[in-house]
Structure 1
Amino acid sequence: MTARQAGAVTAVKAVAVRRRLLDANWPYQLLTFAVFAAGWELYARERGGLLLPGFAQTVRATAGLLADAELWHALAVSNQALVLGFALALLVGVPAGIVLGRFRLIERYADVYLNILLVTPMAAIIPLLVMSVGVGLTSRILLVTVFSVVMVIVNCRTGVRQVDPSLIEMARSFGARERQIWTRILLPGALPAIMTGARLGIGRAVTGMVIVELLMVSDGLGGLILKYRGLLKAPELYGTVVIILAEALFLISLARWGENKVTRWARTQTAGGAR
């Protein structure tokens, strides 16, 4: 290979690397985060006080919390309700959404209750749970479920309705039974929407986990927030919120990764059809 050819290959590689960097999301996210952190620090120094720590102070407090056993105990308590409540939301929401999307008659009876769940402020349900099941793990699990199950049901129903009806009619014309229609057409066609509902539901589940601990049970991460607020420990308060946000972003990213893995075939078919 001549020096000119080697230089051309190097230039092509440099262009490819530059293009990958421009197409990636993380450089823009890092830039946005840097601007946000700088703005936070400057504002805290100019206008902040006892209740508004700077960005650097919050980072130090977050690192200190991660070395504290109390935080990990609170995480274990909170995530117990999160895991069980979200699992219950999936067990109830996925079959319910699929059935509502498939059978319009059943949807006529259940649609009003689904709309109630969509428009009702979830914080208003907390006193009802307290009076019906008491204060404890059961009520926390139920509230997390109520928060997240709506997103799962709505997306599953939408996924089933998006399946091309002509595929179902064609399958019936070839003698397919109802079970075969479900396993070969409806469920595979609705899978992308089901995974999207799970991803959106996990974010709502984290929200429910924190709200129930703030308004009903002073335990877990919500209990830490109330504790640091009462003691006017603003850096630790902000650090706890940062940890909750980090957990939520991690879970959503994990759900998105699983969604991309499970529904890769759907994106491949879409790209093939676009050609």
Structure 2
Amino acid sequence: MTRRGHLPYQLLTFVIFAVSWEVYARVRGGLLIPTFTETVGASVKLLGSAELWQALYASNQALVLGFALAVGVGVPLGIVLGRFRTLERFADVYLNILLVTPMAAIIPLLGMSVGYGLAARVILVAIFAIVMVVVNSRAGVRQVDPSLIEMARSFGANERRIWTRVLLPGALPAIMTGIRLGIGRAVTGMVLVELLMVSTALGGLMLEYRGLLKAPQLYATIVIILAEALLLISVARWGERKLTGRSVR
């Protein structure tokens, strides 16, 4: 079934979710849970305010720089680890540490080492995203059929040609999947560092609205962050489809 074929089901699911939210908020919500219509109205008002756009700009500075760092380091690192198993033995333990370590525990260490400015936010976003990028890039290289490499060698291909003609094209789908998954992790890191490390930008807005008991504005800010994350993931999915020529769910 094509993605267009999924659209009616997605719309139906959204309608059920919106109606359920509206009914529950009116019956049991009270002051702390706004209705769906109140949240939509607050979202529209926020999108027309300079305060939100200033917060989005500040947050996305860390998001763009941190994610670019994660991709710029993670993709080459993952490819190299997938190609050379000896290097992987040294790096694997550190990847496992990043996978199991609660990222909130890293925030005080970053604050003590690099301060509480943009650099710390960029580093945390990169740490959040880089694991997905490295792991998927490594898996992409590993899943290349070894017989293709041997066949390329039999035709006289050197290491550079094996990389450019066999390994990288074969690993590209997995690399793009890692980038797509890394975007979601990067958005999570962006918000978490602003909530727990420094009350600024979108995280600062959320803390302000929570302190003033402005539930519609708080929920609206969360909805806008989710909408941005979904938009970025959709762009990454589109790029993956164009580069790899395959359907992406």
| TM-score, structure 2 as length reference | 0.97
Give, in angstroms, the shift of residue 24 of structure 1: 1.2
- Tell me which moved more, 171-180 or 130-139: 171-180
Any gaps of 5 or more consecutive residues in structure 1? 1-18, 268-275
Whole-Å Cα distance in 2 between the matches of residues 239 and 43 of structure 1?
17
Q: What secondary structure does 2:33 align onto?
A: coil
Give, in angstroms, the shift of residue 26 of structure 1: 1.3
The amino acid of 2:127's aligned partner reads V
Task: Return the match for 1:263 from 233, 236, 244.
Answer: 244
* Count of residue pairs the alignment pairs up: 247
Equivalent in the alignment of 1:59: 40
Task: Return the match for 2:63 from 82, 98, 117.
Answer: 82
The amino acid of 1:66's aligned partner reads L
| TM-score, structure 1 as length reference | 0.88
Whole-Å Cα distance in 1 between the matches of residues 48 and 98 of structure 2?
39
Q: Aligned ranges for residues 44-123 of structure 1 at < 5 Å? A: 44-123=25-104
Whole-Å Cα distance in 1 between the matches of residues 165 and 24 of structure 2?
57
Whole-Å Cα distance in 1 between the matches of residues 174 and 72 of structure 2?
16
Whole-Å Cα distance in 2 between the matches of residues 96 and 147 of structure 1?
16
Equivalent in the alignment of 1:36: 17
Whole-Å Cα distance in 1 between the matches of residues 200 and 169 of structure 2?
41
Check 1:35–1:121 CA distance in 2 against 1; reply closer, same or farther (3 A cut). same
Equivalent in the alignment of 2:190: 209
Give, in angstroms, the shift of residue 174 of structure 1: 1.6
Whole-Å Cα distance in 1 between the matches of residues 161 and 139 of structure 2?
20
Residue by residue, what CA displacement relative to the aligned partner does 1:21-67 show, whole Å, maximum 9, x if unpaired? Answer: 9x611111110000000000000111011101000011101111011
Whole-Å Cα distance in 2 between the matches of residues 238 and 135 of structure 1?
26
The amino acid of 2:145's aligned partner reads D
Residue by residue, what CA displacement relative to the aligned partner does 1:165-210 show, whole Å, maximum 9, x if unpaired? Answer: 0011111122111001000000000000000000000000000000
Whole-Å Cα distance in 1 between the matches of residues 235 and 8 of structure 2?
20
The reply to whether residue 181 of structure 1 matches residue 159 of structure 2 is: no
The amino acid of 1:146's aligned partner reads I
Cα RMSD over matched residues?
1.2
Whole-Å Cα distance in 1 between the matches of residues 22 and 100 of structure 2?
38
Segments of 4+ moved more than 2 angstroms? none
The amino acid of 1:125's aligned partner reads I
